[in-house]
Structure 1
Amino acid sequence: MVVDQIPARIRWAVDLVDIKPDDKVLEIGCGPGAAAELICSRLEPGQGRLFAIDRSESGVDRTKRRNAAAIEDKRLTVRQIDLATLRVPVKRLSKVFAFNVNLFWVRECVDEVALLHDRLRPGGVVGLFYDAAREDQVPQMIAQAGASLEKGGFRVSALKSTQPAVVGIIGRR
């Protein structure tokens, strides 16, 4: 892994979620696989796991190609699936990570947030991150995503970075 090839905004977000070697992580919207690569680099084979999902077949394919070694050593599983149909045993996840997944701030997502709350261990963290280049959208992103998580039973805080321009909404179970 070459850290310089992972965008600074992804590095900032993954750092904020604070991945531990034995974490069980769900990534929603794995896209090109950069976050999956960085997350897997922090997981200990045989202990930590990342379950990465994307609705897009091309996102899943790109993540699989980029992270073949992590799939081989069983740190990573990648599936083409929608969050609403996700099947993960209850209370197994320690962290949830999503970057630019608009679901949480553009529409009601009560069922999806409830699913995350049910699947996270007590003390688990949901990290929702968005590019903040469109400054006019940031207040709405924070308000809507934060409200979605709060309604689902999470304690919420928001953070913003200017270099890179990213906003993070953190929900703690």
Structure 2
Amino acid sequence: MGFIENLSKQFRHPIGFWGHIAGKLMAMTTGERNEWTLSLLDIQPNDRVLEIGYGPGVGISKASLMIQNGKVVGIDPSDAMRKQAERRNKKAILQGKVRLITGTIEECPDFERPFDKIFSVNSVMFWPDRTHVFKKLYQWLKTGGMIATTYQPIGKHAPNLDAFTKQLTEELKQAGFIRIRRKTRHFKPAPAVCVLADKP
């Protein structure tokens, strides 16, 4: 198995040496997408925020700087990513502003308190049953809360941006979300789309 093939598989579920390298690359390249996604959510100082697929913890770090008395929680299936995210967010974790969970959304029990905002950046294409996941996220969100799902097609096998966006829109509708809208922004090496939706 070659270098590129080894590395590309790690973006789904980083493990071991190659997972560590993939995490470093994600940390170097995802900052702008995370900032853009968070800006669309209008995060408030007291918000409870959930990130699905936190990777090396860049989005978690940026979100934690936007809250004061709120909380940022992350779920990711990779132990390798949790270790990187813990190092990146050590201070916020000690302050009680950040909590990192290792596991899948399907395995995760319900939270005691709902979230104001939920977001993901380039993890949605790895969810095996997106409609089921969106229904679970719907339950975790407060009434009037907002979800943001950002996707940037990278690699020759990545789903088509427009077709994938339409699919996400339909899946969000099936989960019960309303006011579903699309924002697009150009990044290197390809444009990204953020699909936003509200819980009525």
TM-score interval, smaller chain: 0.7 to 0.9
- How far is the alpha carbon of 1:110 from its aligned partner? 2.7
Matched residue, 1:141? 164
Distance 1:150 1:20 in 2: 26
**Given the alignment, which residue of 71, 79, 82 partners 2:104?**
82
Instruction: Say if 1:154 and 1:18 are closer, same or farther in 2 by CA, change over 3 A.
Output: same
**Alignment coverage as a number of residue pairs:** 167
Distance 1:16 1:157 in 2: 11
* Secondary structure at 1:146 match in 2: helix
TM-score (norm 2): 0.76
* Secondary structure at 2:132 match in 1: helix
Matched residue, 1:10? 34
- How far is the alpha carbon of 1:136 from its aligned partner? 6.9
Percent identity among equivalent residues?
A: 23
Higher relative contact order (CA 8 A, sep 6+): 1
Unaligned runs of 5+ in 2: 1-27
**Given the alignment, which residue of 66, 78, 87 partners 1:42?**
66
Aligned residues of 1:108 and 1:148 also touching (Cα < 8 A): no
Aligned residues of 1:90 and 1:119 also touching (Cα < 8 A): no
TM-score (norm 1): 0.87
Aligned residues of 1:138 and 1:167 also touching (Cα < 8 A): yes
Instruction: Say if 1:73 and 1:114 are closer, same or farther in 2 by CA, change over 3 A.
Output: same
* Secondary structure at 2:45 match in 1: coil
- How far is the alpha carbon of 1:79 from its aligned partner? 1.1
Taking only aligned residues, the RMSD between alpha carbons, in angstroms, comes to: 2.3
Distance 2:30 2:187 in 1: 15
Aligned residues of 2:124 and 2:130 also touching (Cα < 8 A): no
Matched residue, 2:143? 122
Distance 1:100 1:56 in 2: 15
Distance 2:70 2:105 in 1: 21
Aligned residues of 2:33 and 2:121 also touching (Cα < 8 A): no
Q: Deviations over 1:2-34 (max 9, x none)?
A: xx9972222111111121111111100000111
Distance 1:91 1:157 in 2: 26
Read off the aligned partner of 2:164 and give its amino acid letter.
Answer: M
Aligned residues of 1:90 and 1:118 also touching (Cα < 8 A): no
Distance 2:72 2:99 in 1: 6
Unaligned runs of 5+ in 1: none
Q: Deviations over 1:41-62 (max 9, x none)?
A: 0110xx2101111001111111
Aligned residues of 1:113 and 1:152 also touching (Cα < 8 A): yes
Instruction: Say if 1:108 and 1:88 are closer, same or farther in 2 by CA, change over 3 A.
Output: closer
Q: Deviations over 1:112-143 (max 9, x none)?
A: 11111111111111110012457971112211
